[in-house]
Structure 1
Amino acid sequence: MESLTEQEIRAAFVNCTKGEAKRLSVPRDLADRPWDDLDFLGWRDAQAHDRAYLVTVLDGHPRAITLRSPAPASWHRRRGMCSICLTSHTGGVSLMVAPKAGKARQQGNSVGTYLCGDLACSLYVRGKKDAGVAARPQESLSLEEKIERTVANIAAFFAKVTA
C-alpha cells in the first residue's frame, strides 16, 4: 500500500459525514507505519475505544470506513477467527460494525465482520506479527495468494458497506 497523508485519509471516508471525518482521530505516526507490508491501514481510536477505522485503496483511490466494536467484555476471553486474514486469537478478535454508506446509513443500516482487534491483519498474514500458537491454519497457499485473499476479503467488506 502506498503511504497516505492525513488529508487523503480524511477525504477517503465513505460512511460518515465530512464533519465527522474532520473530527475523527487519525494516527500521528503515519510516516512510521510499515506501508510496504500493509494491505490496508487500520487503527483504533485512542479516545473512544469502541471506534476503529479502516483505509484501503480500491480502483486506485483511497477509501475509508468508520467502525464500532460493540462486543461485550466477556467475548475477549473466547477464541475467534478474523474474517479478513483468517488468523485465530484468544481475546484478539472483535465484531466490528460499519454504518452503510449513503441513504442506507441515514436509515440506520450497518454491516459487520469479525476482525483482528488490533487491525494488524496484513502483518499476521506476512508473519511479521505473531498471534500465538495455532493462530494461523496450515495452508498450501503461497504468501502472495494469502495476501491476495486478504485484499479480496477487505474489498468485499468495503463493497458491503458501500452497497
Structure 2
Amino acid sequence: MLALSDTTIRASFANATKRELNDLTLPDLSAIAWDKIDYLGWRDLRLARRAYVVVPVGDEIVGVILKQAESAPRSRAQCTWCEDVHLPNDVLLYAARRAGAGGRNGNSVGTLLCANFECSANVRKTPPMAYIGFDVEAAREKRIATLRVRASDFAAGVASVE
C-alpha cells in the first residue's frame, strides 16, 4: 500500500458525516510500515467500539467507518478477510453504514474482522506444507491477493450509492 497523508485519509471516507470526520482520530502515520500492509485499519482510542479502515479500491482510496457489535460471536469466529485458522487474536463483528441515501435510511453491511486489523500480517505468514511439492510461496501470494480483493470488495460495497 502506498503511504497516505492525513488529508488523503480524511478525504477518503465514503460513509462519514462531517461530525464523524471532525471526531476522527488518526494513528501515528510515521510508524506504519506501508509496504507490509494491504489496507490501513485502526481502532479509535477515544470512542469505544469505533474503528476505521482505508482500502485501495482500483485507483482510489476508500475509507470506511466501522462500528463494533455490542456482543461478541458465541464461538471462535474466523476473519472474513484473511481467513487465518491460527489466529493470534480475536475476531469481531463490525458493521458499516452504507454511503448516501441508503446509509441515511439505516442500511449497513457487516463483516467479521481481526479485532486489531492484523490481516496483512496473517496472510504473510508462511503456510504449512500441505503436501510434497506444495508451492508455499505461491500459496502465500494467493492469500495476499485474496485479502486485497475481499477488503476492496467490502469498501466498494459500502461506498456504492444505490
TM-score interval (norm. to shorter): 0.7 to 0.9
Structure 1: tracts of 5 or more residues without a match: 129-135
Match of 2:77 in 1: 80
Which structure has more RCO (C-alpha within 8 Å, separation ≥ 6)? 2
**Paired residues of 1:71 and 1:94 also in contact (CA < 8 A):** no
> Secondary structure at 1:155's aligned position in 2?
helix
Identity over aligned pairs, percent:
36
Pair 1:142 & 2:161 matched: no
TM-score between both structures, scaled by the size of structure 1: 0.84
Q: Indicate if the aligned counterparts of 1:78 and 1:90 stay in contact, CA closer than 8 A.
A: no
Query: Highest CA radius of gyration, 1 or 2?
Result: 2
TM-score when normalising by structure 2: 0.85
Match of 1:31 in 2: 30
Which whole-Å CA distance do the structure 1 matches of 2:89 and 2:140 have between them? 25
What whole-Å deviation, never above 9, does each CA across 1:27-52 have from its counterpart, x for those lacking one? Answer: 1x211111101100000000122000
Structure 2: gaps (5+ residues): none
Amino acid at match of 2:16: C
Q: How many residues align?
A: 153
Does 2:152 correspond to 1:152?
Answer: no
CA deviation after TM superposition for structure 1 residue 145, in Å: 1.1
Q: In 2 relative to 1, CA 48–19 (structure 1 residues): closer, same or farther, beyond 3 Å?
A: closer
Distance 2:24 2:129 in 1: 38
CA RMSD of superposed structures (Å): 2.2
Q: Indicate whether 1:100 and 2:98 are aligned.
A: yes
